[in-house]
Amino acid sequence: MSFFKKMKERMFKSSSKLDVGLDAIIEEGAAPDTGPAEVQTPDTGPSAPEPVLSEPQSADPAPVPADPDFDPEPEPQPEPDADASPDPEPAPVAPQPARAEPAPAEEQAPKQGLMGRLMGRPAVPMRVLDDAMLESLEELLIQSDMGVETSLKVAANLAEGRFGRKMSAADIKALLASEVAGILTPVAKPMPLYAKRPQVVLVVGVNGSGKTTTIGKLASQFKAAGKSVVIAAGDTFRAAAVEQLQVWGERAGVPVMTAPEGSDPASLAFDAMTRAEADGADLLMIDTAGRLQNRADLMEELAKIVRVIRKKDPDAPHNTLLVLDATTGQNALSQVEIFRKIADVSGLVMTKLDGTAKGGVLVALADKFGLPIHAIGVGESIEDLQPFDPEEFSRALTGAEA
Ligand SMILES: Nc1nc2c(ncn2[C@@H]2O[C@H](COP(=O)(O)OP(=O)(O)OP(=O)(O)O)[C@@H](O)[C@H]2O)c(=O)[nH]1
């Protein structure tokens, strides 16, 4: 099974709440006169939509957004530069496909053809968009963790100019996917790679958010893309985190610098920087502790790591990745607020999007903070760190057909 298909399946599974909820909204308020001969689609062209799931219009798979297999050929690197290049290349996890302009949502909904109507196929439930339906939609979006402000905005945009029109679940899903993609597209950016060596990537986030796993996956993917990587196991207070990184390091063939339990993470970061410089490594990835319970200590710890590595490179860290666990839902918003105060967060990675119905929080994050989303985690193995494709994600979240 291709990585893309796997991700899509997982995302669809995870988003069933929103998908099923949209079906329910239409069915609850479906007009009684939706028989085949009477179906009207003032919003979707001359013919009525087909049932979404029972009669797909095309067996063709959706276009693959990016080759998920990493090119084992290293990309040609620009000569090392004293300063970080202002025009970085994208990191391997997030190459973005060239995208065609999305078709208007109305055009994306499958239509019931003349033959279907003549043959008397079962009618597609349709509902007139009114205040009650808009309210149900707002509630559903809020429940899917899109946040109140974003949910109201998305619902209002969707309804604009469409009041009084009959809509099927497929119509509403396509419109919603288009609205969501409009919010996500500007933030879907690969992690920039600079010519600077070593490029220092500081990885922050609360305990259990998936920092260690993400570093392991990234290191493996960078290695596979021909980059040399050094990892610093900066959460020196948790032996288990260090061991986990060592396992990933072995798997990827990447050295993992460790320090005795309880020792100063800044000192380890300095040593790791020295080693990365001596090795001519392309990337130094620094894991950090995530004890938010004692925010002042954590803030001081992170600030000290930054101070120390800047003695060697005043521009470091070049990226500060905040790793967020999608299953925490709205909590992710407050984590961004806090970590932006204690670290200069440059981009996000959202993990555990498999097995959660809370993917809507990504839309709220994008809308509220506008921070780049570099990649998403959809499982525990190396290939489960995927580029963030906003259109694919939007369709998966809403259950819209490709
Ligand atoms: N299903 C799933 N599990 C994930 C994903 N990313 C990480 N995990 C799991 O989440 C758990 C926590 O991940 P870690 O990488 O240890 O998280 P951490 O932020 O380093 O946490 P600490 O080591 O406690 O600081 C592990 O069991 C990972 O295997 C993901 O995308 N999907």
Question: What pLDDT is recorded for position 292?
Answer: 77
Residue nearest to atom 6 of ligand 1 (CA): 210
Query: Is 289 labelled as part of a ligand binding site?
Result: yes
Please list, residue by residue across 270-299, b when 16 or more beta carbons sit within 10 angstroms of its beta carbon and e when fewer do: bebbebbeeeebbbbbbbbbbeeeeeeebe
Mean per-residue pLDDT, 153-174: 95
pLDDT band, very low/low/confident/very high, at 59 (cuts 50, 70, 90): very low
369 contacts: CB under 8 Å, gap ≥ 6? 336, 340
Question: What pLDDT is recorded for position 281?
Answer: 96
Question: What pLDDT is recorded for position 92?
Answer: 67
Instruction: Transcribe 70-110 into DSSP letters.
Output: PPSSPPPPPPP-SS--SSPEEPTT-PPPP-PPPPPHHHHS-
Give domain status of residue 205, yes or no: yes
Atom of ligand 1 minimally distant from the CA of 323: 19
Higher pLDDT, 100 or 362: 362
Based on the domain organization, do 242 and 345 belong to the same domain? yes
Question: What pLDDT is recorded for position 1?
Answer: 45
Question: What pLDDT is recorded for position 47?
Answer: 36
User: Does the pLDDT of residue 16 top 70, yes or no?
Assistant: no
Least confident of 61-70, 117-126, 161-170, 283-292: 61-70
* Helix, strand, or coil (residue 358): coil
Question: What pLDDT is recorded for position 104?
Answer: 47
Based on the domain organization, do 210 and 270 belong to the same domain? yes
Domain holding 326, by residue range, is 192-390
User: Does the pLDDT of residue 196 top 50, yes or no?
Assistant: yes
Mean per-residue pLDDT, 301-315: 94
Question: What pLDDT is recorded for position 123?
Answer: 77
State the average pLDDT for the chain.
Answer: 80
Phi, psi angles (nearest 5°) of residue 294: -120, 80
Least confident of 93-102, 266-275, 307-316: 93-102
Question: What pLDDT is recorded for position 382?
Answer: 86
What's the number of domains the chain is made of?
2
Give domain status of residue 358, yes or no: yes
What does the pLDDT look like over 72-91, one tens digit per residue? 344 444 444 444 444 566 66
Query: Is 124 labelled as part of a ligand binding site?
Result: no
pLDDT band, very low/low/confident/very high, at 238 (cuts 50, 70, 90): confident
What token pair was written down for 191?
């992690």
Based on the domain organization, do 179 and 206 belong to the same domain? no
pLDDT band, very low/low/confident/very high, at 114 (cuts 50, 70, 90): low
Higher pLDDT, 358 or 99: 358
Assign residue 208 a region (left: φ > 0; alpha: ψ between -120 and 50; beta: otherwise).
left
Give domain status of residue 31, yes or no: yes
Mean per-residue pLDDT, 133-156: 95
Residue nearest to atom 9 of ligand 1 (CA): 210
Question: What pLDDT is recorded for position 250?
Answer: 93
Give domain status of residue 400, yes or no: no
Mean per-residue pLDDT, 245-251: 92
Query: Is 329 labelled as part of a ligand binding site?
Result: no
Which of these three, 131, 162, 187, is where a domain ends? 187
**Whole-angstrom distance, CA of residue 251 vs CA of residue 173:** 41
Residue type for 351, please? Answer: T
Based on the domain organization, do 165 and 279 belong to the same domain? no
Query: Is 43 labelled as part of a ligand binding site?
Result: no
Question: What pLDDT is recorded for position 128?
Answer: 93
Which pTM was predicted?
A: 0.78
Residue nearest to atom 13 of ligand 1 (CA): 210
**Alpha helices, H only, 185-294:** 211-224, 239-252, 265-279
Based on the domain organization, do 209 and 128 belong to the same domain? no
pLDDT band, very low/low/confident/very high, at 43 (cuts 50, 70, 90): very low
Q: Is the CB of 205 under 6 A from ligand 1?
A: yes
User: Does the pLDDT of residue 100 top 60, yes or no?
Assistant: no
Q: Is the CB of 85 under 6 A from ligand 1?
A: no
Q: Is the CB of 352 under 6 A from ligand 1?
A: yes
**For position 275, which CATH number holds?**
3.40.50.300
Distance 161 CA to ligand 1 centre (A): 44
Question: What pLDDT is recorded for position 69?
Answer: 40
Question: What pLDDT is recorded for position 101?
Answer: 45
Distance 60 CA to ligand 1 centre (A): 35
Measure CA of the first residue to CA of the last residue in the chain; give whole Å. 19
Q: Is the CB of 210 under 6 A from ligand 1?
A: yes
Query: Is 116 labelled as part of a ligand binding site?
Result: no
Give domain status of residue 134, yes or no: yes
Residue percentage of the chain with pLDDT more than 90: 56
User: Does the pLDDT of residue 136 top 90, yes or no?
Assistant: yes
